[in-house]
């Protein structure tokens, strides 16, 4: 595998907050991630780029514990997530926040109740303090005064912001974002990008974003990982990726379409990456 590993942090002096080593993830017989390794440094924004079917969403789901890897290690806060008990997971999850692609706000609760939920469940704070914290969190994402709205009454961008407020409720060390600007118009999407930058600068949170939106990725990222068919093709700063001559990196960044497939044999080759033997 010819990876662009020039700036991988494996030998870096700064301690990584999250280390992924030789991660394999499979759905049944089908392997999605084939031995992924990279580090995430404290306080950086790392963007995981990749096309549809590249395995980027599976990687995110594995990092937050929604999928179990078939082998490999994910080290977070000094603990290997792959060898954790349910109890340890429950403890760890209070230190990470996730904003899902659809927002995943609970439709039967108001925005305020959504943000208050982790605080009610995991802390001993009294209701008045929780109410103040909910207002603060909503203020941070620009949703002042929306506590009593139901999620269905919010626009797409506001739902995303509310989801960020909920992910921030427990003051996490790492925030994960799944396609933060998917389905939003360019102006609202730019607003979400600005919010991510603001959160990083104001709170020094480590942010991991999974996206395929190039403009947004280059704006918010400190470093980027480009995934293709379950392999890391490139990892580096935004400038390093832009300067890369790797054909897959260039194809992705220059938005070049895959060549048209007309023959069955070519399609099989594209799917499997192998040249099938002709039938006798």
Partner 1 sequence: MPVAENIGAATLDGLAYVGGLAKLGASAARAVVLDVFERRRLAYGRAIHQAMAVGIGSLPILSLITFFIGTILALQSAYELRKFGALQFVADAVAISVSRELGPLITAILVIGRSGSSFAAELGTMKVNEEIDALETMALDPVRFLVAPKLLSMLLMMPCLTVWADFMGVIGGAIFGMAAAGFTFKTYIIATLDALVLRDIVTGLIKSLMFGVVITTVGCQEGLRTGLGAEEVGRSTTSAVVKSIFLVIMVDLVFTTMFYLGIG
Residue 121 binds to partner 1 (criterion: CB under 8 A): yes
- Are 239 and 222 a contacting pair, CB within 8 Å? no
Query: CB of 151: closest distance to partner 1 in angstroms?
Result: 10
Q: Which of 6, 10, 15, 120 binds partner 1 (CB under 8 A)?
A: 120
**Interacting stretch for partner 1, rule CB under 8 A, among 35-43, 91-99, 220-228, 252-260?**
91-99
Looking at the Cβ atoms of 113 and 222, the one nearer to partner 1 is: 113
Give residues with Cβ within 8 angstroms of 200, minimum separation 6: 43, 45, 207
* 172: its two tokens: 């996490």
Distances (CA, A) of 161 to 59, 63, 189: 23, 22, 11
Using CA atoms, how far residue 97 sits from 44, 164, 172, 204, 224, in Å, is: 15, 8, 6, 14, 20
Q: Is 123 in the site for partner 1 (CB under 8 A)?
A: no
Q: How far is the CB of 161 from partner 1 (least distance, A)?
A: 15
Q: How many residues bind partner 1 (CB under 8 A)?
A: 23
Which helix (H) or strand (E) element contains residue 267? helix 264-272
CB 117 within 8 A of CB 125: no
Choices 34-42, 44-52, 101-109, 131-139 (CB under 8 A): range interacting with partner 1:
101-109
- When the beta carbons of 21 and 93 are compared against partner 1, the nearer one is 93
Q: Which is nearer to partner 1, 90 or 250 (CB)?
A: 90
Shortest separation between residue 193's beta carbon and partner 1, angstroms: 21
Check: CB of residue 165 under 8 Å from CB of residue 141: yes
Both structure tokens of 215: 């403009």
Closer Cβ to partner 1, 37 or 101, answer by number: 101
Q: How far apart are CA 87 and CA 178, in angstroms?
A: 25
Q: How far is the CB of 276 from partner 1 (least distance, A)?
A: 30
Least distance in Å: CB of 170 to partner 1?
8
DSSP state at residue 18: E
Q: Which of residues 50-69 bind partner 1 (CB under 8 A)?
A: 61, 64-66
Q: If binding is defined by CB under 8 A, does position 91 make contact with partner 1?
A: yes
Catalog residues that contact partner 1 under the rule CB under 8 A.
Answer: 61, 64-66, 89-91, 93-94, 96, 98, 100-102, 104-107, 117-118, 120-122
């Amino acid at each position: 595998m010819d990876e662009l590993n020039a700036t991988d942090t494996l030998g870096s002096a700064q301690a990584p907050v999250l280390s992924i080593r030789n991660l394999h993830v499979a759905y049944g017989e089908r392997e999605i991630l084939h031995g992924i390794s990279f580090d995430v440094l404290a306080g950086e924004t790392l963007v995981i780029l990749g096309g549809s079917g590249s395995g980027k969403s599976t990687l995110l789901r594995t990092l937050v514990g929604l999928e179990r890897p078939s082998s490999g290690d994910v080290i977070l806060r000094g603990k290997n997530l792959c060898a954790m008990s349910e109890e340890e997971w429950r403890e760890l999850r209070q230190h990470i926040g996730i904003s899902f692609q659809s927002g995943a706000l609970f439709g039967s609760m108001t925005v305020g109740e959504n943000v208050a939920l982790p605080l009610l469940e995991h802390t001993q704070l009294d209701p008045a303090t929780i109410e103040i914290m909910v207002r603060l969190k909503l203020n941070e994402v620009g949703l002042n005064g929306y506590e009593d709205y139901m999620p269905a009454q919010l626009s797409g961008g506001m739902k995303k912001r509310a989801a960020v407020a909920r992910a921030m409720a427990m003051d996490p060390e790492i925030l994960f974002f799944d396609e933060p600007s998917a389905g939003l118009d360019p102006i609202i999407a730019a607003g979400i990008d600005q919010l991510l930058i603001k959160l990083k600068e104001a709170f020094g949170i480590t942010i991991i974003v999974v996206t395929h939106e190039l403009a947004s990725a280059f704006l918010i990222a400190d470093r980027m990982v480009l995934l293709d068919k379950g392999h890391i093709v490139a990892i580096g700063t935004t400038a390093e990726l832009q300067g890369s001559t790797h054909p897959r990196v260039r194809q992705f960044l220059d938005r070049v379409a895959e060549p048209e497939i007309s023959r069955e044999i070519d399609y099989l080759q594209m799917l499997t990456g192998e040249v099938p033997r002709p039938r006798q």
